[in-house]
Amino acid sequence: MQTLAQLKNGELVGCKRLQLSEGLTQFPKEVYTLADTLEVLDLSDNHLSELPDDLTSLVNLKILFASNNQFEHVPDVLGRMPKLEMIGFKHNRIRTVSKHCLPPQTRWLILTDNQIQELPDSIGRLTRLEKLALAGNALTKLPDSFGGLTNLGLLRISANRLNAFPDVVLSLPKLAWCAFSGNPFCADRDEYAEFVTVASDDLQLHHVLGQGASGLISQATWRRNAHNFAAQVAVKVFKGEVTSDGYPQDELDACLTVGRHDNLVKPLAHIHEPDCAALVMALIPSDYYNLGQPPSLTTCTRDTFTKGQQFSAAQAQHIIEQMRDLVAHLESREVSHGDLYAHNVLINADGHILFGDFGAASKYHNLNAEQKAGIRAIERRALAYFEEDILGLVVS
């Protein structure tokens, strides 16, 4: 992260990336001194509510992040930015998205956790759009023009006010990762009264094991172990009421609906308190490691992999067969994972995989037969991409 003082002193001349978080209430004009080179501008975690019309002078800007600010609308000036492809306005106060505010070359649009009630018909003109995150808004429907998003691969519409499943998404030819839980049309959450509840004080959290969109996972030991669980466990503490994928309650519901499988992380208990929602899971042995890495700003919706990572044909086929069996299990429980990626998979030296992170999962048993088939087709597309990625790591 840089500082406004550095910018004013000319220390950042020629830089391509700029991140400023200093409680800004107005756009700093000094940013224009970087007009010839600036490609990435991150103004998240400030108090901004407007962007100036002359932002268009940043002729090389490709990425703009302005999350955790006070915007009430997506600035119209963005629609006139010549190279802007990635836009992030998570956790603002946005109510309106005008028909002019989104540039036609947009590939990545994050509007999570706002107050948006409708999208403009013009969104259908964003034929290059690959990633669209709209969880935690007030949408009651999607525009018919949504069918024009022919390159959309990832969609998050969880935690909105959709009264019916938006059939238009089933027509999208590249959609592979879709989350839609937490809407009025969705199936009710099950109670799972038999699932063990423990208190946060029963556990002592230790070092962080990892994190996802919905929470932080830590290793933990028991202070009070009334249920004779293993001494060492993992605890996923959910971040808040709404995540980029939806509601934590829906993650827990989907996870328990899926039940047990040899390739799933085993849930043990949960914590349900006013200031702490968490899932207690079996601790994964230390010899497991991440199969893949999350998408980059360049790959957008496709996983990345560690340089030099490779498998034999037999190893790759073993991985693929396990994932196929797991997807069939999910389908039998009528749960869509919504985030079938290698970066959500752990693997050990024997090639055994463990799949987790149900933050984007959605139950669909209450939908009609055509909708169910469409959802399965979307998830199967993600499986095909997963297989393509794994086979791409094969060496002869």
Rounded CA gap, 182 and 245, in Å? 10
The answer to whether the annotation marks 236 as part of a ligand binding site is: yes
Rounded CA gap, 79 and 101, in Å? 4
- Dihedral sign (CA 61, 63, 68, 74): positive
Going by C-alpha positions, the residue among 32, 26, 28 that lies closest to residue 13 is 32
Q: Which neighbouring-strand residues pair with 233?
A: 220, 282
95 and 71 Cβ atoms separated by less than 8 Å: no
Please give the C-alpha separations between residue 128 and each of 104, 152, 170, in angstroms, as whole numbers: 8, 8, 18
Rounded CA gap, 63 and 45, in Å? 16
Helices (H), the chain: 4-8, 248-258, 313-332, 369-391
Rounded CA gap, 14 and 35, in Å? 9
| Residue 91, SS3 per DSSP | coil
Binding residues: 236
Binding residues for ATP: 236
